[in-house]
C-alpha cells in the first residue's frame, strides 16, 4: 500500500517566550505582553464598534479549558455580521423563561482567508501553511487496512429536532443523548461512508468515552482508543475526532450555526487544531494546522460561509497520537442532524480529495 505522506509545513514558528532571555529581561517581557494585550483589546473593540456589535454581547457555552482536556473544546466566534440569518423554520412565539434558538453565520468571512482564532502564543505563518499542501496522487487498497479513524471523544453530543424554535428547561437536558441517531455518531457514520466511497478507507468508532457513561476523563479514554486502533491497524494515518459545538449568547440564546446561500439549511464546520502549548510533546502540530487550513479553503471555495475560522488551541486534544489529526466541530447543538449531515458530506468529499491529492 502507498501510505499517505505526512503533510509538511514550514518550521518557522515563533514562540514569544523564547524571544526573551532570563533575569532582568523578564520584566521587559511582561511589559511587551501587556502592551500587546492592551493593543489587541483596543483593536477588537474598534472593529466591533464599527460593525455595530458590542463585545459584551457574546459569551461562550461549555468553553474548552486547556487545563482540563475533558471539557468540550467549544468556543464562540463573533459573526461576520451582527444580523441573524433564517432565525427558525417558522416564526414562533417564545414563552417566558424559554431559551430562544437563533441562527447565526459565524464564518467571519470579513476577516479574510488568513484569519484564524489563535488562543496560543505561537505566530504561525498562515499564508505559508496554506500553500504547503499538495503532492502526488495517492491511492489506497482497502485490504491494506483503514487510513482514517473517526471517533467521538464526546459521543453523546446531540442535536435538536427539526423545527425547534425554543427550549423550555435547561439547555443541558437537550445537549446530550443516548440515542445515536440524534448525536454526532450519526454524523460520523456519514463521514465514514463518504470517505470510503471516495477512495479513502475509513473506520468508525462509536464508543462513548468517559467514566461510567459520563464525559469525565473522556480525552484520556479516547487516547486509549486511538492507541488501540493504531496498534491493531498500523495503516491508520489520520484521526478525526468529530464533535458538535455548543454556543449561548450572553442574552441566553442558543445559537444554530448556518451557512448562507445554500439550497438547504447547512450547519457550519470548524476545525480545532491542538498544539504543544500546554507542554504536551507534539512537535508536528503545524502539519495539522496546514491540513485544517487546506480543508477550510476547499470548503469555502464555492461558499465562503461553510467553514468557520480554524481554532488553534494550547491543548493537544490527543492529536499527537497520529501523523495527522483534526478535531471537527460539525454545527452546534442547536442544529439538526440533517443540517450537520449536509455539512459533513461536503467535508468528507473535500477531505478525501486532500488525502488522495486529487
| pLDDT one digit per residue (tens) for the chain, 358 residues | 332 222 222 223 323 232 233 444 444 444 544 554 444 433 333 333 323 333 233 333 333 433 444 444 444 444 444 345 554 555 678 999 999 999 999 999 999 999 999 999 999 999 999 998 777 899 999 999 999 999 999 999 999 999 999 999 999 999 999 999 999 999 999 999 999 999 999 999 999 998 887 899 999 999 999 999 999 999 999 999 999 999 999 999 999 999 999 999 999 999 999 999 999 999 999 999 999 999 999 999 999 999 999 999 999 999 999 999 999 999 999 999 999 999 999 999 999 999 999 8
CATH number of the domain to which 213 belongs: 3.40.630.40
Q: Give me the number of domains the chain comprises.
A: 1
Flag whether 8 is in a domain: no
Cα separation, 303 vs 208, whole angstroms: 34
Flag whether 39 is in a domain: yes
Flag whether 128 is in a domain: yes
Q: Could you tell me the three cell numbers for 160? A: 435538536
Cα separation, 77 vs 110, whole angstroms: 12
pTM of the model: 0.79
Flag whether 7 is in a domain: no
Domain that holds residue 233: 16-356
Amino acid at each position: 500500500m502507498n501510505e499517505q505522506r505526512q503533510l509538511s509545513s514550514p518550521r518557522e514558528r515563533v514562540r514569544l517566550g523564547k524571544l526573551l532571555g532570563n533575569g532582568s529581561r523578564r520584566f521587559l517581557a511582561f511589559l511587551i505582553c501587556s502592551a500587546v494585550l492592551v493593543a489587541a483589546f483596543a483593536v477588537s473593540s474598534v472593529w466591533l464598534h464599527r460593525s455595530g456589535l458590542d463585545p459584551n454581547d457574546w459569551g461562550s457555552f461549555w468553553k474548552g479549558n486547556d487545563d482540563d482536556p475533558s471539557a468540550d473544546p467549544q468556543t464562540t466566534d463573533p459573526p461576520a455580521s451582527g444580523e441573524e440569518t433564517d432565525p427558525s423554520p417558522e416564526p414562533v412565539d417564545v414563552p417566558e423563561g424559554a431559551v430562544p434558538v437563533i441562527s447565526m453565520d459565524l464564518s467571519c468571512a470579513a476577516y479574510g482567508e488568513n484569519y484564524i482564532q489563535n488562543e496560543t502564543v505561537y505566530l504561525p505563518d498562515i499564508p505559508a501553511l496554506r500553500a504547503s499542501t499538495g503532492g502526488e496522487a495517492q491511492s489506497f487498497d482497502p485490504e491494506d487496512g483503514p487510513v482514517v479513524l473517526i471517533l467521538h471523544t464526546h459521543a453523546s453530543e446531540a442535536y435538536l429536532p427539526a423545527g425547534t424554535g425554543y427550549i423550555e428547561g435547561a439547555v443541558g437536558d437537550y445537549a446530550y443523548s443516548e440515542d445515536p441517531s440524534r448525536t454526532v455518531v450519526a454524523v460520523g457514520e456519514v463521514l465514514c461512508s463518504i470517505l470510503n466511497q471516495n477512495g479513502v478507507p475509513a473506520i468508525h468508532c462509536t464508543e462513548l468515552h468517559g467514566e461510567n457513561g459520563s464525559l469525565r476523563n473522556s480525552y484520556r479514554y479516547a487516547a486509549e482508543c486511538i492507541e488501540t486502533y493504531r496498534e491493531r491497524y498500523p495503516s491508520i494515518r489520520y484521526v478525526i475526532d468529530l464533535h458538535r459545538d455548543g454556543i449561548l449568547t450572553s442574552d441566553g440564546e442558543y445559537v444554530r450555526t448556518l451557512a448562507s446561500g445554500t439550497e438547504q439549511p447547512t450547519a457550519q464546520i470548524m476545525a480545532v487544531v491542538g498544539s504543544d502549548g500546554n507542554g504536551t510533546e507534539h512537535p508536528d502540530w503545524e502539519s495539522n494546522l496546514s491540513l485544517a487550513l487546506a480543508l477550510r479553503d476547499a470548503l469555502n471555495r464555492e461558499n465562503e460561509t461553510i467553514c468557520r475560522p480554524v481554532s488553534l488551541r494550547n491543548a493537544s486534544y490527543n492529536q499527537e497520537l497520529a501523523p495527522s489529526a483534526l478535531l471537527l466541530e460539525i454545527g452546534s447543538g442547536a442544529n439538526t442532524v440533517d443540517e450537520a449531515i449536509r455539512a459533513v458530506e461536503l467535508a468528507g468529499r473535500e477531505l478525501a480529495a486532500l488525502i488522495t491529492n486529487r
